Structure 1
Amino acid sequence: AAVRWLEAARHAFGSGALVEARGHATTALALATDSRVRVGARLLLVEMAGEDYSGIGPLLDAGFREAGSHPDLLARLQMHRAAKAYYDGDSETARAELKRAEAAAEQCRDTELLVEVLTWRGSMLVGAERDDFLERAGQRARGLPLTPGVVAARQASAMSPLFRGDVALAVERVTALRAEVERSGAVREIAATLVSVAGVFGRAGRCAEALEAARECARLFEDVMASPGPGLLVCAMAEFNGGSLARAADDVDRATAACQAAGDEGWIRHAYTTAGMIKLLQGDAHAAAERMRLAYVTAQQLGRIDPGQVLWLADYVEALVGSGAKTEARTVLAEVTGDAERLGRTVTFLSLARAGALVTAAFSRARDGAEALERAIEQWADHPYPLEVARAFYVLGGLERRAHRRGAARAAYQAALGRFTEARALPWGAAVTADLARLDGGRGGGLSETERRIVDLVRAGATNREIGRAMFLSVKAVEANLTRLYRRLNVRNRAQLARIVDEAE
């Protein structure tokens, strides 16, 4: 009977019925006399805690007493004890437990278990060492049944090349995994996989696809996971890059509250960084710096800063400069650059050059920063992350404007706008368009600010629907504005409209 209750609990957990799963597992534990069933029930209850490891200690202690010398049970218990130590900030104990877990998995010749252990070990490392572990886990996972551990290993092996700049391989791997997991119908694994899908497509500059995956991810996390926080946070980041900035701000607030309620320290740090990035784009550098400082200090204390994993550190430096903390900005930039060079994260060099240009301008002249950033853009013209190139041009436009080089500023802004539009990065396109309008100062054929923004988006190749999304207008309103412009300027199409406005300038 206890075995049947445990199987029912596992089925309910896989389907997202957490209350039912917890009840069945508790019943199995109460009825079981066999140590394997009892430990299995305890491990399932630990998994139901999600990312909140604060209360799992007694379950693990009891599990170790009951596991005897069974290496498979010991390996799983040691993995969770490692996660508990990691959660508590004890990295040394976490690494030691995972080494023991790996040895136990090797002893029982359980490939799926070994894959899971290798993935956990890799996730607690940084740089090339992390990549090597995750690649090993991913290779062993291919062809295995899609258990949660196998899916996690294949997710990690998709993200690992992304951090090295191999975007094509990351897209290929995560797309294949998504298709397989969706065919399996395992809802929890679909939700988890969509976290990686959104991240990979976002860095690939395919913002609309990232947003679609992220919104579905948030919905599934709400339905089947212990906490909706991670799904909301993934959605906030995708909205920030390719959807609605207002919705991104709402999602990150909800995500932060959910992660705090769940005691999920890792995702709380991500929430602070994402909130800071959103505040920075909204123009509130002080609030942005406050939030990202919380994440940076914690990451430093834990010794887990890998600049290639989440590209927020350059934004942190930018927020510090914008809030007037230029000395702190210079110090952070030096620390992060050292980490990036030590770990070989060359994909971060362009974003750090963007931050460095702002620090240079803060201590010297805007033109000095612009010249340094121009050289970096030329060096990294083939950078694998399209949004990073676009953002470098955007900052270059701002520096050129401060240097009173209007033509150079317009050229940089136009380069940024074209790239943001191609990537469907709507909030960023709207921000650049607004800066272009301010740069014009009412020039350009007597266009209003709204008309100027529409023309700039037309130049960048945006459709009427895309212009509407970027400017929060209906398609009919965009069409009406264009019709008035055509009539007033005596032109017949979009190409003529762009040309006559250019000539007027």
Structure 2
Amino acid sequence: MVTASSVHITVLRGRDDERRAIRDLLDGAGGGALLLQGEPGSGRSALVGYAHRHAADRTILAGAGLTDEAALPYAGLQRLLDPVRDRAGALPVAQRRVLRRALAGAGCPAGQRLTLSMAVLGLLAVTARDRPLLCTMDDVDLGDRPTAEALAFVARRLCHLPVVVLLTGAVDTAPGGIPTRRLRPLDEHDSRAVLTDRLPVPASDPVVTTLGAVAAGNPQALVDLAEALTPAQCRGEENLPTTPPPDGALGRDYRARLDRLTDDARHLLLLAALDHDVDAATLVRAARATGTAIEALAPAEVAGLVRVEAHGVTFPQPLVRAMVVATAPLAARRAAHLVLAALLDDGDHRLRRALHLAAAAEGRDPALATELEAAARDDGDPDARSTALHRAAELSVDPARAAARLVAAAHHAWSAGRPHRARLLVQHLPTGLPGPAVTGRVELLRGEMELRCGRTPAALTALLAAADAWAGTAPDLALEALLRAGEAVCFAGDQYRYADVARRARALCQTGASPRTELVTAHLAGVAATLRGDHEAAGPTLRRAVVLGDRLTGPDLTPTALTGAAVAALLVAEDGPAHRLADRAVALARVRREVCDLPRALELRAVAEYWLGRHETAAETSREGLRAARDAGQTTWAGVHRGMLAVLAAVRADRASSLRLIRELGEEPAPGSRPDALARWALAVLDLLDGRPEDAAARLAALACPGTGRGQVTVQVMATPYLVEAAAASVHRPAAVAALAVFDRWAHSTASPSRRALSARCHALLAPRGSQAAEEGFRAALRWHPPGAGAFERARTEFLFGRELRRSRRPRDARRYLHDACETFTRLGVAAWAEQAAAELRAAGESVGGPDRSAAQLLTGQQLRVAQLVAEGATNREVADRMFLSTRTVDHHLRNIFHRLGIRSRTQLARVL
């Protein structure tokens, strides 16, 4: 039994709802009850302790169910009520008699159980006369059943008594009529917090991620793992445990639960636990082969430890499987592996059979190592392949073969989303690797892991080293390393270095290359030409890459090749094909379980959806990408998805979500990196919404310097429409003009109507106010906007055109466009943009409803204070003196206040406030 004394969880992470429910009961004037359900180690006892600490002036009666007393009727009730037995004299005679009889061990006749239950309720009521009462019974399901039934009866009848009853039990403890809360596994954030609280030294991020996955959100498992970890394991220098320690608090609890089963039941549980794919038929055969009846497993099924169905055997509680294996003796595990291996054929189950044989092997076995390697090639699960090749390396006699197998095992571990395991496998490689091929594979793996999870400069160095190692023997693999190197260059904002990557790629060109190699070559050449502004050369090459991406089949069809084609499509503004290719990459990565490729593929799909105007869909894709990046340990790409989500939230005027995501990024993104640029873009959009165009322009102008190729050029190109809008009438206008020149060269090299629409809109914004050029630019933009697609950008153009007409003293002409913009923004659910359009409509003389939000929500803190003083009758000079501002600043604030509230006079301001 996991008791409060053994589960040392003092800070209850992730249990806010349960603590709130307990406090609500304790703070209430009446009584009530609560049942907390959870698996062992989920924190049930810790919550009972929390209730005791917050009981204030309540009398506390506490008990716990004991397995040793489960066969003794009312044993638990006797221990719970023993401190107040002397108050039983206040009960009616019949109740007093039956209560004393039950607590004395004489039991209770069936016909008097209601009387006994009423006696227990009455005794608690008598005890609560002096002070309110808290009565707790931990692990109520482990003790005797009559006690549980009596307490359930009482818990249903407390509404008029100052008595709180708190019960805890397993997930299948469910007496009717009692409010129940199920303790769920901790999420990633809370799991990290528990580990951080407990680890002896600060741990690296991959270590924390791996331990969180091992614990499966169980608080006690996290505590046990943290207490068992060595400093070297914390630093990621040694292998991490794959299960919670068997001698920890949770391990002891599971050992006690398993010890209550028969030997045959434990044996069958071990057979089921050692093979994740075992089905009911195989388990029956395994039982028969060892002289055991399958019926022996019934007690474990009744206890909820395992569930056997026709299609497979499952363990409802995530840690049960691991603890069954961890607590079994070595000899029992070895014998069980051999039994399972004998039942599996070497055709459909070749790898499973080989793994069981390898788990039971003693010493080196080169034949079995060869069989594992061959079986791994036939299996599509990279995690299983990694396990098999790692074990094959351990069984190998030849050091060169062992090293090659270790590298392959690390590669598959990375593909399966286990970067920490991949790093450790690479670290354990012997010095003097066998040949440049293995060296190149190691450097490619290191480079890709650094790109996705670590330091971009180190990634670039490793990837270029991989390309050099393969240049003479495997040019196709060298090109793949250069593809990743180019990605690293762009991620870091060092696009000027892409020329060197492209130069290396040109030296590797070969005739008769495979379609995938041809695609990578076209991609590298096309991206290099795009980054140097040579769109005439880039366009045909990139379109060739898109065509090749659509034609990939067989071994050439990989998620990496498809994402390369998707990038090419985005660079020539073919948004539909880009989305299709990225979506195919996502689907392929999932089918092959190549988790490492998902975050990048989902990023490109989200970018395509942004350009297609599907902002909600793009946000959902980015959320999916964020989850995939976290699961795969790809911290840098988690930052990319957070940045993209922040931009999408800002564009949709969801200030709170955008700022939260930017805060989550923290200081991790390196200055100039893609996540950093996306965060700055998001803040700029919020600045624009808040009426701070100069701040917005300053942020966006600093994203890149197109002339030098430094910074995030591609992000700045995407954000150019916002930069031009913000900088049109500010000191940053030259930067906007320069950025628009880059955008124009790109937009006009494509066949994209939406890019040309944005270009025309930007030119209209930079034209003199009220000029013919401005009007023609806006009208051209509206003609270019594709019908039925990109409704948000069309509405933005209509809004900006209407504002231009209104400011040019053409309010009647402005209303039509502002009406359309307001209607579209409202339909899309972007309230802040709709409010701006409504404010412009009011300024154009249209009678429309006031803003839905109060002035306090629409204005910044300083703006609201200025508005309040003006509404009270203060002049601008008086406001300036009282707020220690210049009159010019007050004038500026007042103009923004009028604009945001959709008013035109101080009288209207006083009325609004």
Q: Same fold (TM over 0.5)?
A: yes
Q: CA deviation at 1:193?
A: 1.7
1:253-281, Cα deviation, whole Å (9 max, x unpaired): 54473331xx7735544444444334323
- Say which SS state the counterpart of residue 205 (structure 1) adopts: coil
- Label 1:307 to 1:386 Cα distance change in 2 as closer, same or farther (>3 A): farther
- Label 1:75 to 1:398 Cα distance change in 2 as closer, same or farther (>3 A): closer
Q: CA deviation at 1:231?
A: 1.4
> Letter of the aligned partner of 2:558 in structure 1?
T
- Label 1:446 to 1:304 Cα distance change in 2 as closer, same or farther (>3 A): closer
Q: 2:698 touches 2:732 (CA, 8 Å); kept in 1?
A: no
- Say which SS state the counterpart of residue 382 (structure 1) adopts: coil
* Aligned residue among 507, 525, 528 for 1:121: 525
* Aligned residue among 705, 709, 723 for 1:302: 709
Decide which moves more: 437-446 or 173-182.
437-446
Q: Distance in 2 between matches of 1:2 and 1:34?
A: 11
- Say which SS state the counterpart of residue 185 (structure 1) adopts: coil
* Aligned residue among 819, 824, 839 for 1:414: 819
> For residue 467 of structure 1, what is the aligned residue in structure 2?
none
- The answer to whether residue 394 in structure 2 is matched with residue 21 in structure 1 is no
> Letter of the aligned partner of 2:443 in structure 1?
R
* Aligned residue among 303, 318, 329 for 2:725: 318
> For residue 472 of structure 2, what is the aligned residue in structure 1?
69
> For residue 407 of structure 2, what is the aligned residue in structure 1?
6
* Aligned residue among 137, 159, 162 for 2:545: 137
Decide which moves more: 210-219 or 23-32.
23-32
Q: 1:307 touches 1:339 (CA, 8 Å); kept in 2?
A: no
- The answer to whether residue 758 in structure 2 is matched with residue 351 in structure 1 is yes
Q: Distance in 2 between matches of 1:53 and 1:128?
A: 31
TM-score, normalising length from structure 1?
0.73
> For residue 237 of structure 1, what is the aligned residue in structure 2?
647
- Label 1:60 to 1:381 Cα distance change in 2 as closer, same or farther (>3 A): closer
Q: 2:823 touches 2:834 (CA, 8 Å); kept in 1?
A: no
> For residue 382 of structure 1, what is the aligned residue in structure 2?
786
Q: Distance in 1 between matches of 2:642 and 2:682?
A: 11
Q: Distance in 1 between matches of 2:797 and 2:544?
A: 35
Q: CA deviation at 1:241?
A: 3.5
> For residue 457 of structure 2, what is the aligned residue in structure 1?
54
Q: Distance in 2 between matches of 1:197 and 1:62?
A: 30
- Say which SS state the counterpart of residue 301 (structure 1) adopts: coil
Unaligned regions of 5+ residues in structure 2, if any?
1-401, 856-913
> Letter of the aligned partner of 1:372 in structure 2?
E
Q: Distance in 2 between matches of 1:358 and 1:82?
A: 35
1:410-436, Cα deviation, whole Å (9 max, x unpaired): 3212212333455x3x43x43222440
Q: 1:195 touches 1:231 (CA, 8 Å); kept in 2?
A: yes
Q: Distance in 2 between matches of 1:303 and 1:62?
A: 23
> Letter of the aligned partner of 1:133 in structure 2?
T
Q: CA deviation at 1:395?
A: 0.6
Q: Distance in 2 between matches of 1:215 and 1:404?
A: 45
Q: Distance in 1 between matches of 2:599 and 2:765?
A: 38
Q: CA deviation at 1:33?
A: 2.9
Q: CA deviation at 1:213?
A: 0.9
> Letter of the aligned partner of 1:97 in structure 2?
R
Q: CA deviation at 1:357?
A: 2.5
Q: 1:229 touches 1:259 (CA, 8 Å); kept in 2?
A: yes
The aligned runs of 1:333-344 (5 Å cut-off) are 333=740, 336-337=743-744, 340-341=747-748
What fraction of aligned residue pairs are identical, expressed as a percent?
Answer: 19
* Aligned residue among 657, 667, 684 for 1:276: 684
Q: CA deviation at 1:321?
A: 2.3
- Label 1:243 to 1:335 Cα distance change in 2 as closer, same or farther (>3 A): closer
> For residue 566 of structure 2, what is the aligned residue in structure 1?
155
- Label 1:97 to 1:81 Cα distance change in 2 as closer, same or farther (>3 A): farther
The aligned runs of 1:456-475 (5 Å cut-off) are none
- Label 1:175 to 1:61 Cα distance change in 2 as closer, same or farther (>3 A): closer
- The answer to whether residue 803 in structure 2 is matched with residue 393 in structure 1 is no
> For residue 356 of structure 2, what is the aligned residue in structure 1?
none
> For residue 501 of structure 2, what is the aligned residue in structure 1?
94
> Letter of the aligned partner of 1:156 in structure 2?
V
Bigger strand share: 2
- Label 1:69 to 1:158 Cα distance change in 2 as closer, same or farther (>3 A): closer
Q: Distance in 1 between matches of 2:486 and 2:521?
A: 10
- Label 1:323 to 1:168 Cα distance change in 2 as closer, same or farther (>3 A): same
- Say which SS state the counterpart of residue 667 (structure 2) adopts: helix
Q: 2:701 touches 2:735 (CA, 8 Å); kept in 1?
A: no
Q: Distance in 1 between matches of 2:608 and 2:710?
A: 25
* Aligned residue among 409, 433, 436 for 1:35: 436
Q: 2:684 touches 2:699 (CA, 8 Å); kept in 1?
A: yes
> Letter of the aligned partner of 2:590 in structure 1?
E
Q: CA deviation at 1:96?
A: 1.0
> Letter of the aligned partner of 2:821 in structure 1?
A
> Letter of the aligned partner of 1:237 in structure 2?
V
Q: 2:672 touches 2:711 (CA, 8 Å); kept in 1?
A: no
> Letter of the aligned partner of 2:759 in structure 1?
L
Give the RMSD, CA atoms, in angstroms: 3.9
Q: Distance in 2 between matches of 1:58 and 1:357?
A: 45
- Label 1:202 to 1:333 Cα distance change in 2 as closer, same or farther (>3 A): closer
> For residue 700 of structure 2, what is the aligned residue in structure 1?
292
Q: Distance in 1 between matches of 2:848 and 2:678?
A: 45
Q: 2:519 touches 2:565 (CA, 8 Å); kept in 1?
A: no
Q: CA deviation at 1:100?
A: 1.8
- Say which SS state the counterpart of residue 786 (structure 2) adopts: coil
Larger radius of gyration: 2
- The answer to whether residue 775 in structure 2 is matched with residue 371 in structure 1 is yes
Q: CA deviation at 1:369?
A: 6.6
* Aligned residue among 425, 428, 433 for 2:835: 433
Q: CA deviation at 1:50?
A: 0.6
- Label 1:158 to 1:143 Cα distance change in 2 as closer, same or farther (>3 A): farther
Q: Distance in 1 between matches of 2:472 and 2:735?
A: 53
- The answer to whether residue 659 in structure 2 is matched with residue 249 in structure 1 is yes
> Letter of the aligned partner of 1:152 in structure 2?
T
Q: Distance in 1 between matches of 2:600 and 2:785?
A: 33
- Label 1:382 to 1:448 Cα distance change in 2 as closer, same or farther (>3 A): closer
Q: CA deviation at 1:402?
A: 1.8
- Say which SS state the counterpart of residue 723 (structure 2) adopts: helix
Decide which moves more: 409-418 or 19-28.
409-418
- Label 1:385 to 1:264 Cα distance change in 2 as closer, same or farther (>3 A): same
Q: CA deviation at 1:289?
A: 1.2
Q: 1:6 touches 1:25 (CA, 8 Å); kept in 2?
A: yes
- The answer to whether residue 620 in structure 2 is matched with residue 208 in structure 1 is no
Greater RCO (Cα-Cα under 8 Å, separation 6 or more) = 1
Q: Distance in 2 between matches of 1:91 and 1:282?
A: 38
Q: 2:795 touches 2:821 (CA, 8 Å); kept in 1?
A: yes
Q: CA deviation at 1:393?
A: 0.4
> For residue 15 of structure 2, what is the aligned residue in structure 1?
none
1:366-389, Cα deviation, whole Å (9 max, x unpaired): x65763344224532536643322
- Label 1:221 to 1:283 Cα distance change in 2 as closer, same or farther (>3 A): farther
Q: Distance in 2 between matches of 1:318 and 1:98?
A: 39
Q: Distance in 1 between matches of 2:597 and 2:465?
A: 28
Q: 1:14 touches 1:188 (CA, 8 Å); kept in 2?
A: yes
Across the two proteins, how many residue pairs are aligned to each other?
438
Decide which moves more: 320-329 or 219-228.
320-329
Q: Distance in 1 between matches of 2:519 and 2:407?
A: 24
Decide which moves more: 374-383 or 393-402.
374-383
Unaligned regions of 5+ residues in structure 1, if any?
454-505
- Say which SS state the counterpart of residue 257 (structure 1) adopts: coil
TM-score, normalising length from structure 2?
0.43
